[in-house]
Structures are given as C-alpha cells and as structure tokens.
Amino acid sequence: MLQRCRQMTTSDTSVTRVTTRKGTIRESRIETSSTPDCGVDEVLLALCRFALTSNNITYATFGDQLDYWKYFPLEDAAWGQIPVWGFADVVASSVSGVEAGERFFGFFPLASHVRMRPERVTARGFHDGAPHRRALNNAYNQYTRCRADPLYASERESLQALVRPLFLTSFLVADYLADNRFFGAARIAVSSASSKTAFGAAHCLAWHSDLELLAVTSARSRSFVDGLGCYDHVVTYGELANVGNSDATVYLDFSGNEALRAEVHSHFGAALVYDCFVGSTHNANFLPDGELPGPETCFFFGPAQLRKRNAEWGRAEFARRFNAAEQNFMRLLSVPGNPWIEIHESAGFPAAQRLLAELHEGTVEPKRGNVVLLDGVAG
C-alpha cells in the first residue's frame, strides 16, 4: 500500500552524511542533521549499500568541471557530497508507482537519506525530476527498480554496486573506440591497467583479436595485472622504452599521470594516433595544455557515447547489448577464486571516510573491491 510522506522531525530520524571540501579531497567530515520535510510528489530513500572505488575520486576531482558536485548540493558551497553508486530503500512515498519498501539502484549522495522527486515512473524505475537536476546529465538521474532488473540478485548486490557503474564506462569507451575503427590503430596502450574500469575495458576489447592490448602498470601491480589474462603484454611504467613504437597506437589513459603521458607521446611519436583520457587515478586536476608531439588529448565522456548509441540503436537495443556484456563479465567475477576482484565489506560512515582517504592516496590493493553497508553488519 502507498505510504504518504509524513512530516519528519529530528526525533523521527536524522541524516548522516560524509562531506568533502571541494578541491581538497583529503579533507572530509561526518555531519548529522535533521531530515528535511518530505513533500508532495516526493520520496524519501535510505541508502543501504554502496561501492567506493577510484571512480568516486574522479567524481570529486572533476566535480566542478563536470558538474558532479551539482547533483547533491549543500548549503555551504565550499563543501560537497561525493556521489556513490548503490542500493537504497524507499522509506516513504507520496508518488504513485513508487512504494515504501521498494529497493532501487542508482546514483546517490554519500548520505543516509535523500529526497527525490520521481518523474517518468515505469515498471523499470524512475528519473529524479528535482529542479536542480533537470539541466544535468540525464544518465545519472535514472533509478532502476531492483525487482524489474533482469540482472539483479540480492546475493550479488555488492558485486553489482562495484561493477555496474565502472563496467558501463568500460563498455562505452570500448564501444567508442570500435565505433571509430580504433582510429586506425593496431595497439591499445592502457595506463593504470590494474584499475577495475581499465580491465573491464580490456575485457570488452578482447573480442577484437586483431588488436594488441598493452597494459602499463606500476611495479607493485605487475603480478596482479599479469594474472588477469586480459592483456597481451604487460610492462611497468619504467619499461615503456622497451616497447616497439612502429605500430599505430591508441593511448587509453586511466591514470592522468602527466609524466607518463609525456613519455607515451615521446616514445610512440607519429605512431600515436589518438590519446583518450578516461579518468584519473594519479592527478587531481584536468591535464594542462602542453606542447607534446602527436595528437591532442581528448577527454572521454561516457554519457555522450551513451546518448549516441541510444539514438542509433534505441534504448531497448542498447540495454540488451550492455546487459549481455555485463552478464558475461559478472559471470567471470563470480567464479570462486577469480583473479579479478575480491569484495571487502565495511560498515558505517567512518569506514567510508577512511576508504576515501585510502583511495585518494592510492593505497588500496587493485584486487580489492570496497563496499560499505549501512543496513547491517559487514560480512
């Protein structure tokens, strides 16, 4: 039965959130306040489980440039809420078609509760139509009803929270390169090759047997990347000079490391046909303009490729192709003892705060997948 939102007071419930000082990812704090009133045509959701990966650091790094801070703004403009991907339950609803007790997957603030204004409600889910989000990228405004998700399984929630948002980027960047015939390249050089988004992209690109996939990684992650089995060759950052530089090459950059970028451009020279910057595990700023040989750096923005494919294929066909690829990848990750990922669950906001600091400092082991639980004790 539909439950009407009631007026909340501090004694009813409170909102706990982790906030981050913009431009200084190291500085965060845990805040608690009363839950704001839930009005007509709104729902109140309680976040239950979410993943924390280097993807979240990218959201904070480019929060101003790519509007990530605008999705869940705070009154104090110097501070922001880093978005996370995860699962939330509807606590109360005054919206027809969205009932209390239902579970949704999507893009949430790092907070215990959030109000939303569902629009375009269907069997699959809804869009948040809050006025401040209407001008933002629609790909982040969609919320999937778990009971209508063909790939949802309650026992795999942690894996889905980790994989789905990262693998969507992996799928889209691989599709973008294929859509452009790999810019004539015979080799894809992948930096920060141990990152989950990077090896997800490599998994998608592996279907193209005529491509050489070259992993570039740290000495610390070398053995992990070797064991993944999705790259043709693996070199550490100090070994790039030993790689042949006559074949046309695309640089697929997940690191944002400026020194490595300069080395890639200098080493491959005229053979470097495209430089695709996907994300940043090393850099806290947009890459500066520089006088490097070869092509200009192009920032890859996944939602743009998603819009293109939705227009060309239709939403249903895109969903079919992505779901098939994700299901295949999830099957690999679900095999006991797989070399790809090891899920670690923690509980509570202090754990989330600590994990953000570790991700920012780059001290998280590449195989580790961190999930935070707010609705139970970590397993």
- Please name each of the domains of the chain with its CATH number: 14-149+343-373 (3.90.180.10), 163-304 (3.40.50.720)
Q: In what order do the strands lie in the sheet with 297-299?
A: 233-236, 212-217, 187-191, 249-253, 272-277, 297-299
Rg, C-alpha atoms of the chain: 21
Q: Give the list of residues 6+ apart from residue 339 with CB closer than 8 angstroms, or none.
A: 224, 227, 228, 229, 367
Residue 65: CB atoms within 10 A of its CB come to 11
> What's phi and psi for 331, nearest 5 deg?
-65, -40
Supply the pLDDT for residue 12.
Answer: 52
What residue has token string 């569902």? 118
Which of 69-73, 107-111, 271-275, 287-291 has the lowest average pLDDT? Answer: 287-291
Least confident of 98-107, 289-298, 301-310, 319-328: 289-298
For 155-181, give one letter per residue: b (16+ CB within 10 A) or e.
eebbbbbbbbbbbbbbbbbbbbbeeee
Whole-number pLDDT of residue 36 = 65
| Residue 260, pLDDT score | 92
Query: Would the pLDDT of 124 be above 60?
Result: yes
Token couple for 116: 């939303």
102 in Cβ contact with 63 (< 8 Å): no
Average pLDDT of the segment spanning 205-228: 92
Each residue of 225-281: pLDDT tens digit? Answer: 999 999 999 999 989 999 999 999 999 999 888 899 999 999 999 999 999 998 654
The confidence score (pLDDT) of residue 40 equals 87
Which one, of 38, 34, 46, lies nearest residue 3 by Cα?
A: 38
- Residue 83: how many CB atoms within 10 A of its CB? 23
pLDDT beyond 50 at 8:
no
**Mean pLDDT, residues 158-166 taken together:** 92
| pLDDT at position 13 | 67
List, in sequence order, every residue forming a beta bridge with 28; answer none if it has no partner.
20
Whose CA is closest to 31, among 372, 360, 349?
A: 349
Rounded Cα–Cα distance for residues 172 and 179 (Å): 10
* Structure confidence at residue 365 (pLDDT): 85
Q: Is the pLDDT of residue 45 over 50?
A: yes
Q: Roughly what angle, to the nearest 10 degrees, separates helices 157-179 and 302-313?
A: 80
Q: What mean pLDDT is predicted for residues 113-133?
A: 95
Give the closest residue to 89 by CA, choosing from 113, 69, 58, 68.
113
Strand order in the sheet with 28-34: 28-34, 14-21, 79-80
Classify residue 234 by its DSSP letter: E
DSSP state of 98: -
Lowest mean pLDDT across 35-49, 137-151, 282-296, 314-328? 282-296
Phi, psi of 373 (to 5 degrees): -105, 135
Q: Could you give the count of Cα atoms lying within 13 Å of 309 in the half-sphere of its Cβ? A: 24
Question: What does the CA dihedral 285, 287, 290, 293 come to, rounded to 10 degrees?
Answer: 160
CB 235 within 8 A of CB 261: no
Mean per-residue pLDDT of the chain: 88
Q: Does this model's pTM top 0.85?
A: no
CA distances to 150, 270, 331 from 293, in Å: 47, 8, 42
DSSP, residue by residue, 27-52: -EEEEEEEPPPP-TT-EEEEEEEEEE
Is the pLDDT confidence value at 31 over 80? yes
